[in-house]
């Protein structure tokens, strides 16, 4: 049984982000896929090979990261997913020392699905709110600078 587009998006968050399953990136993110709004210094993340290190760095900084998909809207090959994230900053992988602080942020991903894979994803999440909760000055946030 194939998954519908909303199920693909929910599975993406569960497998990749909550479980840290890097193999799921190859399965669910097209080889020519582009993730807008996630790369360092305004660069887009293109393809699974570039997306995997991004996931590894973020999960190393926040090993208990958990994303809950609060809502999805599907239209044809497009899926909008509104989500909530809980996490604790325990790793130094973001360009500044771990703070040990907990954070809760919200975000939205708008994706385009082709043949069961995400081919485009536009991402917007509360980076400013995260930095405030961690008490990190904006100029120190290297991974989050996009």
Residue 146 falls within a domain, yes or no? no
Max distance between CA atoms of the chain, in angstroms, equals 48
CATH number at residue 136: 3.10.450.50
Looking at the structure of the chain, the number of domains it has is 1
In angstroms, what CA-CA distances link 43 with 5, 10, 55, 131?
26, 25, 15, 20
Residue 117 falls within a domain, yes or no? yes
pLDDT above 90 (res 119): yes
Instruction: Grade residue 72 by pLDDT with cuts at 50, 70 and 90.
Output: very high
Residue 37 falls within a domain, yes or no? yes
Residue 83 falls within a domain, yes or no? yes
Per the prediction, the chain carries an average pLDDT of 89
Residue span of the structural domain in which 91 resides:
5-140
Going by the DSSP 8-state scheme, the letter that residue 65 receives in this structure is -
Residue 145 falls within a domain, yes or no? no
| Predicted pLDDT of residue 44 | 86
What is the arithmetic mean of pLDDT over 54-78? 95
């Amino acid at each position: 049984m194939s998954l519908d587009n909303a199920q693909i998006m929910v599975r993406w968050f569960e497998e990749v982000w909550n479980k840290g399953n890097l193999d799921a990136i190859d399965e669910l993110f097209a080889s020519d896929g582009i993730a807008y709004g996630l790369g360092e210094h305004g660069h887009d993340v293109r393809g699974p090979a570039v997306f995997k290190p991004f996931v590894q760095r973020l999960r190393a900084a926040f090993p208990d990261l958990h994303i809950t998909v609060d809502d999805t809207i599907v239209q044809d090959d497009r899926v909008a997913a509104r989500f909530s994230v809980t996490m604790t900053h325990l790793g130094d992988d973001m360009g500044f020392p771990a703070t040990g602080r907990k954070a809760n942020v919200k975000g939205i991903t708008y994706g385009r699905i082709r043949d069961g894979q995400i081919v485009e994803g536009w991402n917007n999440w509360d980076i400013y709110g995260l930095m405030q909760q961690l008490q990190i000055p904006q100029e120190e946030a290297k991974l989050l600078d996009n």
